[in-house]
Structure 1
Amino acid sequence: MGPAWSSFAAVGNRLFTQEQRGDSEVVVCYDADSGVEIWRHADVARFSEVVSGAGPRATPTFHDRRLYTLGGQGLLSCLDASSGELQWNRDLMEEFEAPLPMWGFSASPLVIDDLVIVYVGASNGRGLVAFDRKTGESEWQIASSGMNYSSAQLVTLVERPLILCASTAKLVAVDPATGTVAWEYEHSGQRSMAIVQPQQISAKSVIVPFGDGGGVARIDLQMVDDVWQLTERWRSNNLKPSFNDFVYYNGHLYGFDQHIFTCIDAETGQRQWKRGRYGFGQVILFAEQGLLLITAEKGELVLLEANPKQHTELTRLESLSGKTWNHPTVARKRLFVRNGAEAICYDLLVGAE
C-alpha cells in the first residue's frame, strides 16, 4: 500500500481508503474478500512533513452510493462508489484561501441528509462549511477558530441534533439544518490543536479533549427556558491523548495518556490504572464482549479486558511492520488493519457458547 494515515471505510465487500502513490493522492477501492484493487481515482497532490511523512490523512465517507474524500492538500471530492468516477470536487486552499494545516487536512467529511460538512479553517467566516452533497455548492458556513484535525460529528444532546466541531481552545455545537451556533465551550487548553474526537457519554454529557497532550474535561448540558446551560464537571490530566482516540465503556474512559494506556473514571476524572506501553497506537471497543483491541504504534495487535480494576492483556499478536497510526476497522466479522506500507485482514472467530 502507499503511505497514508487514512483508514478503511468498509461497505459490504468493499474497502475504501486513501494512499499516496508518487505525486498523486489516490482514492482506492479494494475487494474485502481478496484484497484485490477494484478501482482507483488519482489527483496530482502530495502532502508530506518530517514527523508523520507523506500521504492523505482522512478516511473516506460513504453515503448513498457516493464516496466523499478529503485529501491532505485540501481537495474535497465526491466519487461514484461503484466506479470511482468523479462527480465534483472543491479545492479548499484555492477557492476558500484556507491555510494548509501543519499536519495536513485530516478530517473525514460528515454527511447529514443532503449536506457534506468539513472544517475548512479559512477566514471571513469560512470555518466549518456545509456543501450540497450532490452538487458541491456551499450551503452554510460558520467562523473558524484556529487549526482542526478532528472530524465534525453528529450527536443528539438533550434530545436535540447537533454537530460537534472542535477547534483551537473551543468546542462548538451547531444546528445541522441552519448552521447556527447553539453553544460554545471555551477551555483555553495550553496545547489546543483539535485532533482527538470529543466523546458523548450520555444524553447530557460530553468528554472534551484539549488537544495534543493537553488533557480532557467533562461538560454536562441542560436546557433552561430554551437556553443552553453548560457546566464543567471536571478537567483532568490523567488522560492526555495526542492524536489517539479514546473509548467510553461502563462509566470509564480507556485511552492513551501520551504513549501509555490508561483508564480513568468518567464521573470524577480520577485515574484507575496506567499501564501498557503501546506507543502512539489506536484503540477500539468490542462493547458486547467487554474487550479493547489496541493497534500498537509498532504494528502489534493487543487484546485487553475493559476492566477498570486492572490492566489485563489477554493476547498479543505480531501483525503489521513499521509505524502504525491508522485506526483499525471491524466489519462482517473481520478485522482490517493497515499502515503506510501494508494491510492485513483477520477473521474474528466467535467461541462456542
Structure 2
Amino acid sequence: MVAPRLAPRLTAPAAILLATMAAPAVAAETAWCQWRGPNRDGFVAGAAWPDGLADNRLEKAWRVDLGPSYSGPVVAGDVVIVTETADAATEHVRAFDRATGAERWHAEWEGALRVPFFAASNGSWIRSTPCVDGDRVYVAGMRDLLVCLDVASGREHWRVDFVKALESPLPAFGCVSSPLVIGDHVYVQAGSGFAKLDKLTGAIVWRVLDDGGGMSGSAFSSPYHVTLDGVPQILVQTREELAAVDPEKGSVLWKTPVEAFRGMNIVTPTVSDGRIFTTSYGGGSFLFAVNPTRTDKPVEQVWRNKIQGYMSTPIVIGGHAYVHLRNQRFACLDLTTGKEDWITTPFGRYWSMVAQGNRILALDETGDLRLIRATPEGYELVGEAKVAAEESWAHLAVEGTELYIRDLKGLSAYRWK
C-alpha cells in the first residue's frame, strides 16, 4: 500500500469550500450517472421500453458536433455530460441541456497522450467515463489525471496528477478506468494501481495493487462495488488478476490470476448468484466462487471455457451471460455450467449493452442499435435502427425515455415515443 508523496492541487474556490465546511453534496437525481448506469451492472429501471425501434417509436431530438472520445455520456439533473479530445492537445468536458442540446458549460485542460504505434488505430483520445455524485462530477484524463468539477457550473474543485503524486509512470494507453464513488470517497484504477481518494479534497488515502504501470500495467477495466457473503468489497480487474479490495482499509481480501493475451483484461467483472463472471481476450471465460471463511482458498475457479470476450462487458440475466465476443459474435452462456446456449453470426467489433427486464439494447461501433429479447432459447431480435453515421465506441446511456449516443464526431439525443 502506498501513500501519496504530493498533495492534490486545489483551486481557490475549493480551498474556501474546505475552510467554510460547506454542506455535503445533494443526492443525485439521475440514474445514468456513471459507467454502466446506476449500479454499474448495465440495468435501468423506469417505464417499460417500447416493443420496437421503428421510426414511430424512436425519434432524434438533437445533435451536437464534438471532437473524438471513448467516454460514455452521463446524466446529472437536467444536463448530459460528455468529454472530448481537441486538436490532439487538450481534453474537454462539456455539459448540454437535455431538452435542447444547448451547451451549459465547458471545462478543459492540457492532457493529450499518444498511444503506442501498434494501438494507434484505436485513437489517442480520452477514454474514461465520468462519474456524477450529487453536485460534483469526477473525470479521469488520459495522462492519469482525476479532476473534480462542479455539475452546475463546470468550475474545478480539485485535480490530482497521479504521475506527480505517486511518482508512477504514465499509462502507455492512457487512463481507461472509470471512477467509482462510495460514500465519502472516490476510487479509480490509476497511478499504476487502485487508489482511494477523499471526494471533497482529492487527498489520496491509499493505493494498492501496484502493477508497475507503463506498457504492461495500468488497468483497462473499471472497479465494481459488491457485497459477497455479507462482506462489502470492490472487484478490481487488473491486466493480470481479478482481486477484491476492502473499501475502507484497502486490504486485498483475495486475488486470482485471469489469463489474457498481453494483459487485455478489459471488461468489468459481473456477479450472478454470488459468483463472479469475467471474460478476456486470449484467456477465455471464467466463473469464480468466493468463500471468505476459507483463509487457505478464499476464491476458487468454478469453471473456465474457451469462449473469449474482448472489450464489451456482458449483461447477466437469469443466470445467463449475454456476451459480445472477440470473434464479433453474440453468445449466451449458462453460468451454472459454462456451456454455450447459442451463438450468432458476426456483428460489429464492439457492443455496449443496457438491459431492462429481459430486454437488451445493444449499440455496436457502426452505429447500429438493436433491441434484443434475452432468452437462452435463441437469439431474438425485436427491432433495430441506425442511430449514428460515425463509429460509436462510447457506452450507450439510457435515462428514462432518453437515449444518448456518443459517436466519434458528436453526441445525439433520441427519445422513445
Give the TM-score normalised by structure 1.
0.91
Change (3 A) 1:225 1:237: closer
Shift of 1:222: 2.0
Q: Secondary structure at the match of 2:93?
A: strand
| Counterpart in the other structure of 1:256 | 324
From 65, 79, 104, the equivalent of 2:174 is: 104
Matches within 5 A, 1:1-353: 1-22=66-87, 23-49=89-115, 50-122=120-192, 127-145=193-211, 146-202=217-273, 204-210=274-280, 212-224=281-293, 229-238=298-307, 240-258=308-326, 259-288=328-357, 290-349=358-417
Select the structure with the greater relative contact order (CA < 8 A; seq sep ≥ 6): 2
Write the letter of the residue equivalent to 1:37: E
Q: Is the 8 A contact 1:67 1:79 kept in 2?
A: yes
Q: Which moved more, 1:317-326 or 1:276-285?
A: 276-285
Distance in 2, Cα, partners of 1:134 & 1:276:
48
CA distance in 1, matches of 2:177, 2:314: 17
Residue by residue over 1:92-149, the C-alpha shift from the partner in whole angstroms, topping out at 9 and shown as x without a partner, is: 2233233333321111111111111111243xxxx21111111111111213233301
Please report how far the alpha carbon of residue 223 of structure 1 lies from its aligned counterpart in structure 2 after TM superposition. 3.0
Alignment length (residue pairs): 341
String of CA shifts for 1:246-268, please: whole Å, max 9, x gaps: 11011111121111111111111
| Deviations 1:202-249, CA, capped at 9 Å, x for gaps | 2x2100233x343220001123277762221101222x1211111101
Across the aligned residues of Structure 1 and Structure 2, the Cα RMSD in angstroms comes to 1.8
Asked if the contact 1:59–1:108 (Cα under 8 Å) also holds between the matched residues in 2, the reply is: yes
| CA distance, structure 2, for counterparts of residue 200 and residue 214 of structure 1 | 19
State the identity as a percent: 28
Distance 1:268 1:102, change over 3 A: farther
State how far apart, in whole Å, the 1-side matches of 2:389 and 2:250 are: 43
CA distance in 1, matches of 2:142, 2:278: 25
Counterparts of 1:263 and 1:188 in 2: how far apart (Å)?
A: 21
Question: Which stretch has the larger CA shift, 51-60 or 190-199?
Answer: 190-199
* Contact 1:192–1:214 (Cα < 8 Å) also in 2: no
Counterpart contact for 2:105–2:153, Cα < 8 Å? yes
Higher percent of residues as helix: 2
Residue deviations 1:170-196 (CA, integer Å, cap 9, x gap):
111111011111111123444433311
**Change in 2 beyond 3 A, CA 1:132/1:277:** same
CA contact (8 A) 2:362 2:371 kept: yes
User: In the aligned structure 2, how far is the partner of 1:168 from the partner of 1:343?
Assistant: 31
Counterpart Cα distance in 1 of 2:294 and 2:323: 37
CA distance in 1, matches of 2:167, 2:345: 43
Distance 2:290 2:393 in 1: 33
| Structure-1 residue corresponding to 2:4 | none
> Normalising to structure 2: TM-score of the pair?
0.78
Q: Distance in 2 between matches of 1:341 and 1:249?
A: 33
1:225/1:270 Cα in 2 relative to 1: closer, same or farther (>3 Å)? Answer: closer
Contact residue 320 and residue 343 of structure 1 kept, 8 A? no
* Distance verdict in 2 for CA 1:93–1:341, change over 3 Å: same
Q: Distance in 1 between matches of 2:82 and 2:296?
A: 41
Q: Which runs of 5+ in 1 are unaligned?
A: none
Q: Which moved more, 1:185-194 or 1:260-269?
A: 185-194
Q: Secondary structure at the match of 2:249?
A: coil
Q: Which has the higher strand share?
A: 1
Are 1:46 and 1:72, in contact at CA under 8 Å, matched by a contact in 2?
A: yes
